[in-house]
Amino acid sequence: MINTNEVLKKYGLRLTKTLGQNFLTDINIIRKIVDTGEVCPSDLVVEIGPGIGSMTAELAGKAGKVIAVEIDKNLIPALKENLSAFSNVTIICGDIMETDLESLTKDWTGPLKVVSNLPYYITTPIIMMLLEGNVAWDTLVFMVQKEVALRMAAKPSTKDYGALSIAVQYYSDPKLAFTVSKNCFIPKPDVDSAVVKLKKRVLDQAQDIDKDHFFKVVRASFGQRRKTLLNSLGNQPFVPGGKERLREVLSKLGIKESIRAEELSIYDFLNLSKELSE
pLDDT tens for 50-73 read 988 999 999 999 999 999 999 999
DSSP annotation of 189:
P
Give a three-class secondary structure readout of 25-65: CCHHHHHHHHHHCCCCCCCEEEEECCCCCHHHHHHHCCCCE
Q: Are residues 137 and 166 in the same domain?
A: yes
Backbone angles phi, psi at 153, to 5 degrees: -100, 5
* pLDDT reported for residue 187: 81
> pLDDT class for 18, splitting at 50, 70, 90?
low
Whether 71 and 148 map to the same domain: the answer is yes
Condensed to tens digits (0 to 9), the pLDDT of residues 78-128 reads 999 999 999 999 999 999 999 999 999 999 999 999 999 998 888 999 999
Given 201, 229, 257, the domain boundary residue is 201
Q: What is the mean pLDDT of the chain?
A: 92
19 with 157, same domain: the answer is yes
Integer angstrom CA distances of residue 147 from 130, 153, 180: 20, 10, 12
Q: How confident is the model at residue 12 (pLDDT cuts 50, 70, 90)?
A: low
What pLDDT is stored for residue 3 in this prediction? 65
Q: For residue 187, is the peptide bond before it cis, meaning its omega torsion is within 30 degrees of 0?
A: yes
Ramachandran class of 22: left when φ > 0, alpha when ψ lies in -120 to 50, beta otherwise? beta
Residues 94 and 148 grouped into a single domain: yes
How far is the C-alpha of 228 from the C-alpha of 235, rounded, in Å? 12
Report the DSSP pairing between strands 185-186 and 23-24. antiparallel
Q: Please tell me the total count of domains within the chain.
A: 2
The CA distance from 58 to 227, in Å, is 48
Question: pLDDT category, 19, cuts 50, 70, 90?
Answer: low
Out of 182, 201, 220, a domain closes at 201
Q: Are residues 158 and 224 in the same domain?
A: no
Q: Per-residue pLDDT for 1 more than 70?
A: no
Residue 249 is part of a domain; what is its CATH number? 1.10.8.100
Across residues 246-258, what is the average pLDDT?
95
| 28 CB-near residues (< 8 Å, 6+ apart) | none
Phi, psi of 178 (to 5 degrees): -170, 165
Global confidence as pTM: 0.91
Residues 166, 28: one domain? yes
Q: Are residues 237 and 174 in the same domain?
A: no
> Is residue 173 helix, strand or coil?
strand
161-209 pLDDT, tens digit each: 999 999 999 999 999 999 999 998 888 888 899 999 999 998 888 888 8
- The whole-number pLDDT of residue 215 equals 95
Lowest mean pLDDT among 18-22, 98-102, 222-226, 253-257: 18-22
**Better-predicted residue by pLDDT, 155 or 21:** 155
Tell whether the model's pLDDT for residue 20 goes beyond 80.
no
**Paired residues of 245 in beta bridges:** none
Q: Per-residue confidence at 24, pLDDT binned at 50, 70, 90? A: confident
CA distance 257 to 251: 8
Task: Looking at the structure, tell me whether residues 62 and 27 fall in a common domain.
Answer: yes
Query: Same domain for 217 and 197?
Result: no
- Kindly state whether residues 250 and 156 are assigned to the same domain: no
- Between CA 117 and CA 25 the distance in angstroms is 12
Tell me what pLDDT residue 119 has: 86
Enclosing domain of residue 96: 4-201
Per-residue pLDDT at 189: 85
Average of pLDDT values for 25-42?
95
Query: Do 215 and 175 share a domain, yes or no?
Result: no
Listed as own residue / partner, the contacts of 263-269 with beta carbons closer than 8 Å and 24 or more positions apart are: 263/156, 263/157, 264/156, 264/221, 264/229, 265/156, 266/166, 266/169, 266/170, 266/203, 267/203, 267/205, 269/166, 269/214, 269/217, 269/218, 269/221
* Distance of alpha carbon 153 from alpha carbon 140, whole angstroms: 13
Query: Residue 13's pLDDT is what?
Result: 64
Evaluate if residue 143 carries a pLDDT over 90: yes
Q: Distance (Å, rounded) from C-alpha 3 to C-alpha 230? A: 56
